[in-house]
Amino acid sequence: MKFSTVLSSSLMVVAALAAPTPTVQEPVNAAFEKRASVTDTPVGYASQNGGTTGGAGGTTTTVSSFAEFTAAVSSSDKKVVYVSGPITQAAKQVKVGSNTSIIGKDSSVVFTGFGLIVKGMSNVVIRNIAIAKVLAANGDAIGVQKSTNVWIDHVDVSSDRDHDKDFYDGLLDLTHAADFVTISNSFVHDHWKASLVGHSDSNGAEDKGHLRVTYANNLFENLNSRGPSFRFGTGHMFNNYYNSVSDGINTRQGAQVLVENNVFVDSKKSVYSTDGGFAVATGNDFGSGSNTAPAGTLKTVPYSYTKLDASAVKAAVVGTAGVTLKF
């Protein structure tokens, strides 16, 4: 063997020994498509008033078109409606009946152009669904009105901020005395006015004593306001991560909110009050923002829950919130 060949081989061995050992790259979303069950139950206010189970134990069906979906969710018979694949339709909100679970089978389930409305119903679960770009003329991405026991979990709701603030409506609006609602593990992003609890200053006669809502483990990102805006009711926000949300939690019209262990990054107003709202804020990381709301009286809630320290919220929420389940 020639000397040059031996030298070349030796250099290759040295280079191989010096090179770093290849590593298996973890996915950006380590919790992506985590297995879940239709019998899972919510934390927060949706766990009260008898609990929220949706259609668990009822009939099951799988749909993949707008017509199939609309027909499947309309009745109040106990039912689980699985959705397979994306559906695009420019249409008004689809009405959802009582005792219904709407479950996206995996991350491919995106509704584009239409949203959901739960009106005058009870015991509804909406999980693992993305909803995008519902024009204002067609309503909110998800609206809950005059309904009790609604659990919205692992949803991804968005539009864009390329248009006027009224080009789209709300992403998650809970109005007209909606009650015992939990929004958890969801990704709320790229929108002007994200989430409204109580739609009008003049609706106190209907709303007072209702609008009990929990927001837990959600990711709010690139929003102008309403994270949420909360009138009259009772709100509990814990372990949410806010990234580039200009106006965060707005408590108003006598609302009492408990704000625990949330994180705010690049937010101008973290927690603030207009028109006489109140807040108790503990364990939060407000970043460059602050809590300027008057001290409230809501220091405890009537359910058990586990909260993380603010320092652990980003790792727990970012990459887990949104359509990250598999059924």
For residue 256, tell me if it sits in a domain.
yes
Amino acid identity for residue 178 in this structure: A
- This prediction has a pTM of 0.90
For residue 7, tell me if it sits in a domain.
no
Per-residue pLDDT at 3 exceeds 80: no
Which domain, by its residues, includes 282? Answer: 28-326
Residues with catalytic function? 226
Say how far residue 80 (Cα) sits from the centre of its chain. Answer: 20
For residue 22, tell me if it sits in a domain.
no
CA distance 109 to 87: 7
Residue 305: the pLDDT is 98
For residue 11, tell me if it sits in a domain.
no
| DSSP-assigned letters across all residues of 243-270 | EEESEEEEEETT-EEEEES-EEES-SEE
pLDDT tens figures, 140-168 = 999 999 999 999 999 999 999 999 999 99
Per-residue pLDDT at 13 exceeds 80: no
For residue 5, tell me if it sits in a domain.
no
For residue 96, tell me if it sits in a domain.
yes
Which among 82, 131, 69 is positioned nearest to 322, based on CA atoms?
Answer: 131
CA distance 210 to 299: 18
Query: The domain that contains 190 carries what CATH number?
Result: 2.160.20.10
* Whole-Å CA distances, 38 to 26, 54, 171: 28, 9, 24
For residue 157, tell me if it sits in a domain.
yes
Mean pLDDT of 196-203: 98
For residue 18, tell me if it sits in a domain.
no
Q: Say how many domains are in the chain.
A: 1
Q: In what order do the strands lie in the sheet with 59-63?
A: 59-63, 79-83, 100-104, 122-127, 148-153, 179-184, 212-216, 234-238, 256-260, 278-282
pLDDT tens figures, 35-48 = 999 999 999 999 99
Whole-angstrom distance between the N-terminal and C-terminal Cα of the chain?
62
Per-residue confidence band for 33, with pLDDT thresholds at 50, 70 and 90: confident
CA distance 185 to 40: 13
